[in-house]
C-alpha cells in the first residue's frame, strides 16, 4: 500500500535589520518544522532583507515574482475591485459587442444574449491552473489584506505563523476542553479574515434590513465564540474542583518548549502511556499521574502544553486552565532540549510565558534533556555553565531514577521533625502518618505510641490539633 505524496509548501520571511542572523535562521528553521508537523514538505524559501515588511504583500515586487515561479502564480497582486468605466469606454464596448454580433450573424454563429453573458462569465472565471505548491507559510504575523494579496500573487493558500500554529493545535487537540480552547482561538483568528464573495457583490440573507453577508458571517462567528466560552467555563469549573481535591498533594509540573522531551520524561517518571511523538505540539492536553514507584504521601506529576516563540496570545489565554497546573505546582521541572542549538532562546521563551501567567514565583529546576545527543566536550562546557541544572536523558533509566530521587528529596527538604504521642485507642492516626509523611521511629510506652515523624509543617500542625 503506497503512501499518498505529502503536499508542498514554500516559506516566506523578511530579514529585518534589528533581527540577528542567528535568531532569523532559528525562527525560519522552526517555521519549517511547524509546516512539516502540519503535513507539508518544504520545497523552497523566499527570503528578502528589507528595512520593513512591505505593506501590500510582505515582499517587494521582484521577490513576489520569485515566489510565483515556485508556486505557479502570477506574481502580481492585482485587485478584485471592479474597474470604473467612463461613458466613452462604455460606448466603445457597446459598439464592439454590436460589431461582434453582426459578424456572428453573417457567419451563422449567433447566440442569444443569455448565452453571450454565460460565455463571458466562463471566460472570466475559467479554472485557475493547479498550483505547484499548496501552502505559502509566512514567518510573520500578517494582516488579512496582506494574506489576500499574497494569495493573488502566489495562486495558493497563505498562512502566517499564527495561522500555522493554530492549525496544528486544531489537528492535535484530543480532549473536549482542548478542542474548545483551540476552536475559540481559531475563530478569533478567522473573524477579521472573513472576506466578501469574489464578485465583490454583497449577498443578502434577509436577517436584518440590508445586512451584508460578510457582516452576518462575522456576527455568527462572535455568537459561536460566546457559546464556546460558556461551555468551556463549565468544563473549567469542573476541572477547578478536581484541582482543589489535589491541592493538598505534592505536585510537580513539567514545563518547557515544545518537543523538549516533557512527555518522554513524564512517561518514564510515572510508568504511564502518555502520547509521545517527535513532533511540535504533540501534547495539548494536561495529563496528571502519580510518581512511580509510588511514595507516601503521593507526588503527582503533570505534563503541560509546550511553549513556542511568538505563541499567539489567544492560545496562551485559552490554555490558561492547562497552564494553571504550572501555576499551582509545588515544583516546576523546566525541561530543555540541550541538543538544540537554540536552547537558550527557547529557555527564555518559556520563562517569559511562565512570568505572563504568574508561575515564575514557583520553585523550579532546569532539566537539560537529550544529553545523549551531545558530544562529550560540549556536554562538559554546558555542565560548567549550568552547575545547578540536572543533565539527563529521559530514555536512560538511571537518569530517570535520579530525577525521581531528587524530586522526593526536594519535598523532604521542607520537612520538619516532631515527636507525637498517639494514644492506643487512636492507632489509626499512626497509619495516616505513614501516608502523609515519614515515620522515622515508633516506641510503645505507657502513654501510647511515641512517633518520631517528619512531614510538612502544615501536616504536623494538623496532626497536633487532632491529638490535642
Q: Which tens digits make up the pLDDT trace of 164-179?
A: 988 888 887 777 877 8
Q: What percent of the chain has pLDDT over 70?
A: 76
Please enumerate in sequence order all residues whose Cβ is within 8 A of that of 426, keeping only pairs 6 or more positions apart, or say none: 448, 467
Which residue matches cell numbers 479574515?
Answer: 193
Instruction: For residue 164, give Cα distances in angstroms to 144, 145, 185.
Output: 14, 17, 12
Q: Give the pairing type, strands 331-337 and 390-391.
A: unpaired
Q: What pLDDT band is residue 181 in, cutting at 50, 70 and 90?
A: confident
pLDDT tens digits along 287-319: 788 999 988 888 999 887 788 877 766 666 656
What value does the mean pLDDT take over residues 15-23?
A: 91
Instruction: For residue 411, give Cα distances in angstroms to 53, 331, 334, 415, 466.
Output: 51, 9, 17, 7, 24
List 438's β-bridge partners, or say none: 454
Residue 36: all three cell numbers together: 512539516
Torsion of CA 450, 456, 458, 460, to 10 degrees: 0
Cα–Cα dist 189/421, whole Å = 63
pTM score above 0.75: no
Which residue matches cell numbers 503506497?
Answer: 2
3-class secondary-structure state, position 252: strand
- Do residues 265 and 403 make contact, with C-beta atoms less than 8 angstroms apart? yes
Instruction: For residue 429, give Cα distances in angstroms to 6, 297, 422, 462, 466.
Output: 63, 14, 7, 11, 9
Q: What percent of the chain has pLDDT over 90?
A: 45
Amino acid at each position: 500500500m503506497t503512501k499518498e505524496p505529502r503536499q508542498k509548501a514554500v516559506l516566506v520571511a523578511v530579514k529585518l535589520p534589528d533581527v540577528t542572523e542567528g535568531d532569523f535562521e532559528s525562527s525560519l528553521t522552526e517555521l519549517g518544522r511547524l509546516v512539516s508537523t502540519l503535513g507539508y514538505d518544504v520545497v523552497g524559501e523566499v527570503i528578502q532583507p528589507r528595512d520593513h515588511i512591505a505593506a501590500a504583500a510582505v515582499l517587494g515586487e521582484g521577490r513576489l515574482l520569485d515566489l510565483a515561479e515556485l508556486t505557479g502564480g502570477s506574481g502580481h497582486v492585482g485587485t478584485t475591485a471592479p474597474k470604473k468605466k467612463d461613458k466613452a469606454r462604455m460606448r466603445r464596448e457597446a459598439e464592439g459587442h454590436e460589431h461582434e454580433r453582426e459578424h456572428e450573424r453573417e457567419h451563422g454563429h449567433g447566440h442569444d444574449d443569455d448565452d453571450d453573458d454565460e460565455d463571458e462569465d466562463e471566460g472570466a472565471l475559467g479554472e485557475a491552473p493547479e498550483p505547484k505548491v499548496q501552502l505559502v507559510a509566512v514567518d510573520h504575523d500578517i494582516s488579512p489584506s496582506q494574506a489576500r494579496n499574497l494569495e493573488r500573487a502566489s495562486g495558493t493558500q497563505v498562512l502566517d505563523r499564527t495561522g500555522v500554529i493554530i492549525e496544528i493545535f486544531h489537528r492535535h487537540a484530543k480532549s473536549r476542553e482542548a478542542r474548545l480552547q483551540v476552536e475559540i482561538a481559531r475563530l478569533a483568528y478567522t473573524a477579521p479574515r472573513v472576506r466578501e464573495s469574489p464578485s465583490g457583490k454583497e449577498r443578502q440573507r434577509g436577517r436584518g434590513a440590508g445586512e451584508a453577508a460578510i457582516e452576518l458571517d462575522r456576527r455568527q462567528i462572535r455568537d459561536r465564540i460566546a457559546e464556546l466560552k460558556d461551555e468551556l467555563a463549565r468544563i473549567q469549573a469542573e476541572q477547578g474542583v478536581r484541582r482543589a481535591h489535589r491541592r493538598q498533594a505534592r505536585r510537580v509540573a513539567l514545563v518547557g518548549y515544545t518537543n523538549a522531551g516533557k512527555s518522554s520524561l513524564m512517561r518514564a517518571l510515572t510508568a504511564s502511556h502518555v502520547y509521545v511523538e517527535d513532533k511540535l505540539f504533540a501534547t495539548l492536553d494536561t495529563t496528571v499521574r502519580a510518581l512511580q514507584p509510588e511514595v507516601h504521601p503521593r507526588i503527582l506529576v503533570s505534563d503541560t502544553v509546550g511553549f513556542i516563540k511568538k505563541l499567539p496570545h489567544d492560545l496562551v489565554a485559552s490554555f490558561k486552565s492547562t497552564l494553571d497546573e504550572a501555576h499551582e505546582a509545588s515544583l516546576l521541572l523546566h525541561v530543555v532540549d540541550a541538543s538544540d542549538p537554540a536552547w537558550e532562546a527557547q529557555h527564555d521563551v518559556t520563562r517569559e510565558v511562565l512570568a505572563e501567567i504568574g508561575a515564575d514565583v514557583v520553585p523550579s529546576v532546569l532539566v537539560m534533556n537529550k544529553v545523549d545527543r551531545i558530544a562529550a566536550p560540549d556536554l562538559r562546557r554546558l555542565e560548567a555553565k549550568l552547575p545547578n541544572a540536572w543533565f539527563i536523558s529521559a530514555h536512560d533509566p538511571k537518569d530517570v531514577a535520579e530525577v525521581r530521587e531528587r524530586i522526593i528529596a526536594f519535598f523532604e527538604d521542607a520537612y520538619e521533625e516532631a515527636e507525637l504521642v498517639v494514644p492506643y485507642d487512636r492507632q489509626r492516626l499512626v497509619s495516616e502518618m505513614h501516608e502523609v509523611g515519614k515515620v522515622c521511629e515508633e516506641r510503645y510506652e505507657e502513654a501510647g505510641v511515641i512517633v518520631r515523624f517528619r512531614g510538612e509543617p502544615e501536616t504536623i500542625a494538623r496532626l497536633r490539633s487532632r491529638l490535642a
